[in-house]
């Protein structure tokens, strides 16, 4: 326990003796009622709150005070017999874990697990000021708290040699995080990125570990391999779940022995390459169905970074869009357009299945489709529902624009009746508008015209709902009268 950071215990004097007997360095403190009264030394990395003695209100107030002044402290709550809703609320408020069993053994194991993760962490500076001033870490932009927790983990663990597993949907920036780890690590070797899904399974071991001359047909000369190319640096194994099972066994030996054996060689070559794996699939599920080795999974899953999708960090949508818009306009020598409120509302509401990559590509398409002084919801709708093709106009004839009506072919018409001068958005938008209006009327009727309840049920902000009601000339009072 001597290598572990000391523990501060709040609200439970009787636990101090028990924890000391377990070998932990622990001292009691007073629960802060505000950030100004926080009295915890800089050397402390774990705070334990006795939820039973403190009571719910003081427990949550203490967590909040700790989050405000020392947001990267690990907080552990000990409350035997806590129900599921309490555990969920505590974890959501920022605590690292909750012990809800009346068991000192469980408490000891949980503390040891947290401290084991802390041994990978150097005593790095707090990143809160960086977040407030710049919203950028190693060139990665975000204002989301979860993302900054990831940045803090990178800052703490980058200098270790522990393997890292980055989990996240396509387009969330896993490659950028891997490069940030490499830059923060102080390693002087190369950063080498490998996409395991794009390499032919028959030659993947040769690509990764190298081969000797004559090792197989076509091996006319010796090849070094990407692991040796990354010696002294970092290698990113992207889409690790697509790696063939036989190659997984070879990779496991590399991680265990820190050596590679080129194909056709009888000798091991020592290497020093930090391994980062990334995946958008569930490796745990792949283990269950036999597509991924369980022993390799645990070797890779030492430090895990779970990257939230863009739809779960909506404060980043407009922030990132503004950055991409300035960048694209600067590249093409254009003035940045103004953003209409309708545009910002619609942008914020999108699910973004392609995440940050989709947002960046959409920004470029918006700029290149035709420069305007102001972007509106109509501009965004057009780009979202159509694939721009060079030379095809995305504008409608003026008469159709004035009438607000367009003629569309029925389902029985052949494709020859499609007007190629119209975009897909031009065909879909009227249908979507009718459906949206009917949906809003049903929701309003279901909630007796109450705006807040209707907006919540529809999954949009009150401001967006009111804007749509005005656009469709829907009177909320009619639904109140009906009720």
Q: What is the pLDDT of residues 265-296, one digit of tens each?
A: 888 889 999 999 999 988 988 998 889 999 99
- Tell me how many degrees the CA angle 250-251-255 measures, rounded to the nearest 5: 120
Residue 183's pLDDT is 94
Residue 118's pLDDT is 61
Residue 360's pLDDT is 93
**How many angstroms separate the Cα of 477 from the Cα of each of 72, 148, 285, 483?**
49, 44, 51, 10
Identify the residue with better confidence: 53 or 249: 249
Mean pLDDT of 59-71: 78
pTM > 0.75:
no
- What's the chain's average pLDDT? 80
Distance CA 1, CA 137 (A): 33
Mean pLDDT of 196-209: 87
Distance CA 461, CA 228 (A): 53
Does the pLDDT of residue 219 top 80, yes or no? no
Identify the residue with better confidence: 389 or 75: 75
**Mean pLDDT comparison of 95-104, 329-338, 343-352, 436-445, highest-scoring range:** 343-352
Does the pLDDT of residue 57 top 90, yes or no? no
User: CATH code for 128-308?
Assistant: 3.40.50.300
Listed in order, the ranges of the chain carrying CATH 3.40.50.300 are 128-308
The gap from C-alpha 467 to its chain's centroid, in whole angstroms, comes to 31
pLDDT tens per residue across span 328-384: 888 888 888 888 888 988 898 899 999 999 999 999 888 887 767 889 888 888 888
Residue 320's pLDDT is 93
Please, what sign has the CA dihedral across residues 85, 88, 93, 96? Answer: positive
Report percent pLDDT > 90 for the chain: 24
Does the pLDDT of residue 426 top 70, yes or no? no
Phi-psi region of 204 (alpha: psi -120 to 50; beta: other; left: phi over 0): alpha
Mean pLDDT of 12-18: 80
Listed in order, the ranges of the chain carrying CATH 1.10.10 are 425-482
Q: Which CATH number does the domain 313-384 belong to among 1.10.150.120, 1.10.8.60, 1.10.287.130, 3.40.50.11540?
A: 1.10.8.60
Residues 470, 438 contacting (CB under 8 angstroms) = no
- Fold exhibited by the domain 425-482: Arc Repressor Mutant, subunit A (1.10.10)
Domain 7-118 CATH superfamily: Response regulator (3.40.50.2300)
Listed in order, the ranges of the chain carrying CATH 1.10.8.60 are 313-384
Q: How confident is the model at residue 46 (pLDDT cuts 50, 70, 90)?
A: confident
Listed in order, the ranges of the chain carrying CATH 3.40.50.2300 are 7-118
Identify the residue with better confidence: 170 or 3: 170
Identify the residue with better confidence: 243 or 373: 243
Residues 336, 343 contacting (CB under 8 angstroms) = no
**How many angstroms separate the Cα of 286 from the Cα of each of 24, 96, 241, 248?**
38, 27, 7, 13
Report percent pLDDT > 70 for the chain: 80
């Amino acid at each position: 326990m001597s290598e572990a950071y000391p523990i501060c215990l709040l609200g439970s004097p009787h636990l101090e003796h028990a924890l000391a007997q377990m070998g932990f360095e622990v001292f009691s403190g007073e629960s802060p009622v505000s950030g100004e009264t926080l009295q915890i030394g800089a050397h402390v990395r774990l705070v334990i709150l006795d939820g039973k003695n403190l009571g719910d209100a003081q427990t949550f107030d203490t967590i909040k005070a700790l989050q405000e002044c020392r947001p990267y402290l690990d907080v552990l709550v000990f409350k035997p017999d806590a129900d599921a809703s309490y555990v969920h609320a505590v974890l959501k408020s920022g605590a690292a874990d909750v012990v809800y069993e009346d068991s000192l053994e469980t408490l000891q194991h949980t503390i040891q697990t947290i401290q084991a993760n802390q041994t990978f962490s150097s005593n790095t500076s707090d990143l809160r000021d960086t977040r407030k001033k710049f919203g950028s870490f190693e060139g990665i932009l975000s204002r989301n708290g979860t993302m900054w927790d990831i940045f803090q983990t990178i800052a703490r663990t980058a200098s270790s040699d522990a393997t890292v597993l980055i989990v996240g949907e396509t387009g969330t920036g896993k490659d950028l995080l891997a490069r940030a780890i490499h830059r923060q690590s102080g390693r002087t070797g190369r950063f080498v990125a490998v996409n395991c899904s794009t390499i032919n399974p028959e030659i993947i071991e040769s690509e990764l570990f190298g081969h000797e001359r004559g090792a197989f047909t076509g091996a006319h000369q010796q090849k070094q391999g990407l692991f040796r190319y990354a010696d002294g640096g970092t290698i990113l194994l992207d889409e690790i779940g697509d790696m063939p099972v036989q190659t997984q066994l070879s990779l496991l030996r590399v991680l265990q022995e820190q050596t590679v054996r080129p194909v056709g060689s009888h000798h091991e070559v020592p290497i020093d390459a930090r391994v980062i794996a990334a995946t958008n699939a569930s490796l745990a599920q792949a283990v269950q169905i036999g597509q991924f080795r369980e022993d390799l999974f645990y070797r890779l899953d030492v430090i895990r970074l779970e990257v939230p999708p863009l739809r779960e960090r909506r404060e980043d949508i407009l922030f990132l869009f503004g950055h991409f818009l300035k960048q694209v306009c600067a590249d093409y020598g254009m003035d940045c357009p103004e953003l209409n409120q309708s545009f910002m509302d619609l942008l914020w509401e999108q699910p973004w299945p392609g995440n940050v990559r989709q947002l960046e590509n959409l920004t470029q398409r918006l700029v290149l489709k035709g420069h305007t002084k102001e972007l509106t919801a109509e501009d965004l709708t057009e780009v979202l529902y159509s694939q721009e093709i060079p030379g095809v106009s995305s504008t409608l004839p003026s008469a159709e624009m004035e009438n607000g009506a367009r003629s569309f072919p029925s389902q029985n018409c052949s494709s020859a009746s499609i007007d190629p001068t119209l975009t897909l958005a031009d065909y879909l938008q009227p249908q979507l508008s009718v459906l949206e209006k009917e949906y809003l009327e049903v929701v309003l009727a279901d909630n007796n015209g109450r705006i807040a309840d209707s907006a919540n049920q529809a999954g949009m902000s009150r401001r967006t709902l009111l804007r749509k009601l005005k656009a469709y000339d829907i009177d909320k009072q009619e639904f109140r009268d009906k009720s």
